[in-house]
Amino acid sequence: MKFFIDTANLEQIKEAQALGILDGVTTNPSLMAKEGITGAKNILQHYVDICNIVDGDVSAEVIAIDFEGMVKEGEALAALHPQIVVKLPMIADGIKACKYFSDKGIKTNVTLVFSAGQALLAAKAGATYMSPFIGRLDDISTDGLGLISDIKHIYDNYGFETQILAASVRHTMHIMDCAKIGADVMTGPLSAIKGLLKHPLTDSGLAQFLADYKKGN
Ligand code: E4P
């Protein structure tokens, strides 16, 4: 299972990278704005800065919502750095653009997926990644993890190579449940990733080992 961090915060990306378990980064316009990164030039430079920290794929989202605009923007994003993945919204023109980029061998991430039908379209368009937003579904009393299971079942039926990128992960149990279902990738905040470290028996066991060592030295 690949671990992506869902942030535009460089310090958090560095911290996850230093743990040695980071496979990539996802961003979106809201995450950029949260870090105070505004204006096309600054945003593009920020993507390059992120690529220079991590070894894996970095999703960069287009703002255009028409096919021609997405192609123009996506090509500029892809030219920024070999690690860039063009992130496209799950709308008709986004699917057309996804097919265009996949035919050209440019990696894509179809975002804002909320149904299995949308996931099927993204796979047929050759998406590299397809991002169902599980937390946002849970927020409206809909089963986000159930969607991941349905998509996994459909993709396995036909051997689609599109990777299921469980997005809008909010906490550690989301990660574990996605791992049980077999999502290829998860993207979530640093807090959810670091949450996997925690167990009280690890802490008390280590404290005991250190105390016993001190007794004999
Ligand atoms: C995915 O690529 C999105 O950036 C993200 O996971 C959205 O998560 P949110 O629902 O916490 O905003």
Convert the chain into a string of H (helix), E (strand) and C (coil): CEEEEECCCHHHHHHHHHHCCCCEEECCHHHHHHCCCCCHHHHHHHHHHHHHHCCCEEEEECCCCCHHHHHHHHHHHHHHCCCEEEEEECCHHHHHHHHHHHHCCCCEEEEEECCHHHHHHHHHCCCCEEEEEHHHHHHCCCCHHHHHHHHHHHHHHHCCCCEEEEECCCCHHHHHHHHHHCCCEEEECHHHHHHCCCCHHHHHHHHHHHHHHHHCC
- Cα separation, 170 vs 96, in Å, equals 30
26 ligand 1 Cβ < 6 A: yes
**How many whole angstroms from 6 Cα to the centroid of ligand 1?**
7
* Rounded Cα gap, residues 215 and 63, in angstroms: 62
Other CB atoms within 10 Å distance of the CB of residue 215: 6
Our measurement of the distance from residue 20's CA atom to the centroid of its chain's CA atoms, rounded to an integer in Å, reads 17
**pLDDT computed for residue 217 by the predictor:** 82
Active site residue 41: no
CB 47 within 8 A of CB 59: no
Region of residue 184 (left: phi > 0; alpha: psi -120 to 50; beta: else): alpha
Q: Which atom of ligand 1 is nearest to the CA of 31?
A: 4
Q: 112 C-alpha vs ligand 1 centroid, how far in Å?
A: 8
Per-residue pLDDT of the chain (217 residues; tens, 9 = 90+): 999 999 999 999 999 999 999 999 999 999 999 999 999 999 999 999 999 999 999 999 999 999 999 999 999 999 999 999 999 999 999 999 999 999 999 999 999 999 999 999 999 999 999 999 999 999 999 999 999 999 999 999 999 999 999 999 999 999 999 999 999 999 999 999 999 999 999 999 999 999 999 998 8
Contact 125, 137 (CB under 8 A): no
The alpha carbon of residue 202 and the mean position of all alpha carbons in its chain are separated, in whole angstroms, by: 29
Q: Which residues on neighbouring strands pair with residue 4, listed in sequence order?
A: 24, 187
Atom in ligand 1 nearest the alpha carbon of residue 27 = 4
Does residue 109 line the site of ligand 1, with CB under 6 A?
no
Q: Residue whose CA is closest, atom 11 of ligand 1?
A: 168
**Marked catalytic residue, from 2, 34, 41, 87:** 87
Of 133, 139, 191, 193, the residue with max ligand 1 atoms within 8 A of its CB, to mutate for a pocket test, comes to 133
Given this model, what pLDDT does residue 216 score? 81
Q: Is the CB of 168 under 6 A from ligand 1?
A: yes
pLDDT of residue 187: 98
CA-nearest residue for atom 2, ligand 1, is: 26
